Structure 1
Amino acid sequence: MLELVQEVRSVFTAPWVHWLALLFLCAAYLQGAFDKARDFPAAVAEMQHFGLSPAAPMAAAVIVMEFAASAMILANYHRWLGALALAGFTVMANFLADRFWSVPQSERVTVANSFFEHWGLAGGFLLVAWYDLGGANGG
């Protein structure tokens, strides 16, 4: 059993696993920024749908923030700052887009699932920042 634990530890503590985990954590933000940049009018329409104005500058800011914060995390350039930016963005967007308590009952379970999944993402980013800032002797 000890040999199995050591083998698992050697695989899952490899630097490439750490980077892959960070890529997975950032994947939705990279994809979202790419899609918004590729179809900017749709990104502007999304901002308008949520009542954000001025819509075009807001859409541009979201695209830049999603790309930049993800790049900071993946490049280990002030990773903690990129992680806190995406955690904060996720919490704000969650309360804007996934208000399950205000949708029709038929949509509530799906929107509630999304709401709580986004809390998981925010928590993951908080853990990245916590570790990079020295939590549990990380960083």
Structure 2
Amino acid sequence: MSVRTDTPRWIASILSWPGLLPLSRIALVSAFLIGGVQKLADFPAAIAEQAHFGLEPAWLWAAAAVLIELGGSMLVIFGRFVWLGAGGLGVLTAVAMLAANDFWTKSGHDRFMVLNAFFEHLGLIAGLVLVSVLSLRKQGASMQ
């Protein structure tokens, strides 16, 4: 019996390509990888960034950001403890989203820009949730 789908065959072929999921995982965490490397390369600037957003002690927040951005990204990319890596990145993103995108204090064009960034971060968190769901489903399929 064949399964009916609304996805065109050529799209299904692209989505079935074995390399798509690993490349998508890398793309999903790419901003975290770049951010973690930049923070590590210029740790004083990373501390200043955390202090700018009122996160104290700034050195601890900067160290946690580097660890979570690099470590969490590696877990997501390599598909090991994805829930932990994506969860850490999601929490870090939520903290950043609330600290840096305070649209409720803005007006006019500034409010528009910050509100947009807020929801972009929310979308990124949703992507991290989805990669965790996919990982769990893959594990469930291999455990049966």
* TM norm. shorter chain > 0.5: yes
Segments ≥4 residues shifted beyond 6 Å:
none
Confirm whether residue 29 of structure 1 aligns to residue 32 of structure 2: yes
Instruction: Find the partner of 1:127 among 123, 127, 130.
Output: 130
Match of 1:9 in 2: 12
Instruction: Find the partner of 2:58 among 55, 59, 65.
Output: 55
Q: TM-score, normalised by structure 1?
A: 0.87
Instruction: Find the partner of 2:96 among 93, 97, 101.
Output: 93
Confirm whether residue 74 of structure 1 aligns to residue 77 of structure 2: yes
Give the counterpart letter for 1:120 in structure 2: G
How far did residue 104 of structure 1 move?
A: 4.0
How far did residue 131 of structure 1 move?
A: 2.2
Gap regions ≥5 residues in structure 1: none
**Would you say the 8 A contact 1:47–1:59 is kept in 2?**
yes
**Would you say the 8 A contact 1:22–1:73 is kept in 2?**
yes
How far did residue 106 of structure 1 move?
A: 3.2
Superposition CA RMSD, Å = 2.1
Confirm whether residue 109 of structure 1 aligns to residue 112 of structure 2: yes
Distance (whole Å) between structure 1 residues aligned to residue 141 and residue 68 of structure 2 = 25
Q: TM-score, normalised by structure 2?
A: 0.85
Confirm whether residue 65 of structure 1 aligns to residue 68 of structure 2: yes
Distance (whole Å) between structure 2 residues aligned to residue 23 and residue 138 of structure 1 = 23
Distance (whole Å) between structure 1 residues aligned to residue 14 and residue 112 of structure 2 = 37
- Equivalent pairs counted in the alignment come to 136
Distance (whole Å) between structure 2 residues aligned to residue 79 and residue 11 of structure 1 = 24
**Would you say the 8 A contact 2:79–2:135 is kept in 1?**
no
